[in-house]
Amino acid sequence: MNEKISWFWFTSLLEMNRKTQGEILSAVIHPEELRKLNAETAKPFLNKRQYRLFLETRDESYICKKYEELKKQKTDYIIWKEPDYPQRLKQIYDYPFGIFRKGRPQESRLVIAIVGARSCTLYGREMAGYFAKELSRRGVLIVSGMARGIDGASHRGALDVGAPTAGVLGCGIDRIYPKAHKKLFADVEKQGVIYSEYGPGVEPLSFLFPQRNRIISGLSDGIFVVEAREKSGSLITADSGLEQNKEIFALPGNVTSDVSRGCHRLIQQGAKLVSGPEDILNEFPKFRVFSHNVCQFDKNSLARGEKMVYDVLSLEPKCLEQIASEAKLPVTEAVTSLYYLQRQGLAEEILKNYYIIKI
């Protein structure tokens, strides 16, 4: 049996975490050596469940059949020795020995992870999408965890400007979680890449997501936390980044908001406070030499009424009458200006006659 299929068996079919895999390899040297061991000789290395899987899965024909099924699912399996393995990920001490991939591998001189709360605020969602768009326009690859809230907004922001993005799952490569992200999964796979340490069939169990977070940070040069509670998976990603010597960034928020307390704690501990994309790019001066297609919106290019309405919009929803009053315009003219701002992607009607800015 070739080496790659041996690693597939070891890292996937035995369902062991990375720490256990490392401990076993310190004793048996190679997965194929473990597979060929006498059952009684192998027993001390494995717990009860792992030993049962060892006996059930080590037949070569069974392993090859499972490996061939990956092709039907349009899934690649890459081991750490192959040139296609993500090079940034290989630099962390607990890199996966093998990783599953859907989509196309993406190369970039700068990779930034954008992470945050699943139950985020409108402000957080807008900021995640805005930063993802602006950084993507400059050639940055955005990585996130495919979850609800900040993750989804970050992926969508990159996709909306035609850029690739990379998602990292906390479940099997064939699982769509959450199910509401079915279209997002399809779009990321088509335009970018999806990674998972876990093979087909692995359910999205809660303890897998903290393990997944080290891969998000490992694939990145910096981690940007948009919103996070004091006890948050996003802070685990930031902690992993610190251990991996990555740059940590945080977005300030409302001091009374629970979903900003984690970000404020990160800033107190030394994370860089971010108020715009340049605050992130300035930490990577070598990348700026290669950065391209820098797009800056100039509101002075707007018509008079549009500019007056744009100036009073914010991320806090405002009703039509309030907008017209603050812009000192007749309601009918405010309606027309809002229509054109929406056409340009600069405003959004989130409820009937209630509008927010689209940065």
How confident is the model over 312-346, as pLDDT tens digits?
998 888 999 999 999 999 999 999 999 989 888 88
Q: 178 pLDDT exceeds 80?
A: yes
Q: Specify if 259 maps to a domain.
A: yes
Reported as a pLDDT band with limits 50, 70 and 90, residue 291 is low
Beta-bridge partner residues of 319:
354
Same domain, 1 and 150: no
CATH of the domain at 198: 3.40.50.450
Distance (Å) of CA 353 to CA 188, 277, 350: 33, 31, 8
Mean pLDDT of 122-131: 93
Same domain, 262 and 309: no
pLDDT of residue 337: 92
Q: Specify if 36 maps to a domain.
A: yes
Same domain, 201 and 276: yes
Mean pLDDT of 229-248: 89
Q: Specify if 82 maps to a domain.
A: no
Same domain, 32 and 133: no
Same domain, 278 and 353: no
Mean pLDDT of 264-293: 84
Reported as a pLDDT band with limits 50, 70 and 90, residue 292 is very low
Indicate the pairing of strand 98-103 with strand 111-115: unpaired
Question: Would you state the torsion angle of the CA atoms of residues 160, 164, 166, 169, taken in this order, to the nearest 10 degrees?
Answer: 60
pLDDT of residue 184: 97
Percent of the chain scoring above 90 in pLDDT? 74
Q: Which two tokens stand for residue 125?
A: 């969602």
Same domain, 46 and 172: no
Q: Specify if 50 maps to a domain.
A: yes
Question: How far is C-alpha 148 from the geometric centre of its chain's CA atoms?
Answer: 11
pLDDT of residue 293: 46
Mean pLDDT of 252-268: 92
Cα–Cα distance, 268 to 254 (Å, whole number): 15
- The residues, ordered by sequence, that sit 6+ positions from 358 with a Cβ below 8 Å of its Cβ are 126, 345, 346, 347, 348
Same domain, 240 and 316: no
Same domain, 149 and 252: yes
Percent of the chain scoring above 70 in pLDDT? 96
Mean pLDDT of 101-125: 92
Name the residue among 133, 13, 126 with its Cα closest to residue 77: 13
Same domain, 239 and 305: no
Mean pLDDT of 167-189: 95
pLDDT of residue 232: 82
Q: Specify if 8 maps to a domain.
A: yes
Q: How many CB atoms lie within 10 A of CB 164?
A: 20
pLDDT of residue 97: 96
Last residue of a domain, one of 273, 290, 307: 290
Same domain, 305 and 204: no
Q: Specify if 46 maps to a domain.
A: yes
SS3 337: helix
Same domain, 352 and 248: no
Buried b (16+ CB within 10 A) or exposed e, 113-151: bbbbbbebbebbbbbbbbbbbbbbbbbbbbbbbbbbbbb
- Please give the residue range of the domain that contains residue 323: 299-357
CATH of the domain at 323: 1.10.10.10
Last residue of a domain, one of 37, 69, 101: 69
Cα–Cα distance, 57 to 49 (Å, whole number): 12
pLDDT averaged over the chain?
A: 91
Cα–Cα distance, 44 to 42 (Å, whole number): 6
Q: 164 pLDDT exceeds 80?
A: yes
Last residue of a domain, one of 69, 103, 128: 69
Same domain, 251 and 339: no
pTM of the model: 0.81
Q: Specify if 81 maps to a domain.
A: no
Reported as a pLDDT band with limits 50, 70 and 90, residue 359 is low
Q: Specify if 87 maps to a domain.
A: no
Q: 89 pLDDT exceeds 70?
A: yes
Helix boundaries (H) for 225-319: 233-243, 261-268, 277-281, 285-290, 304-312
Mean pLDDT of 199-218: 93
The domain total for the chain is 3
- Sole residue written with tokens 């001390």: 44
Q: 215 pLDDT exceeds 60?
A: yes
Among 162-166, 262-266, 338-342, whose mean pLDDT is lowest?
A: 338-342
Cα–Cα distance, 339 to 319 (Å, whole number): 14
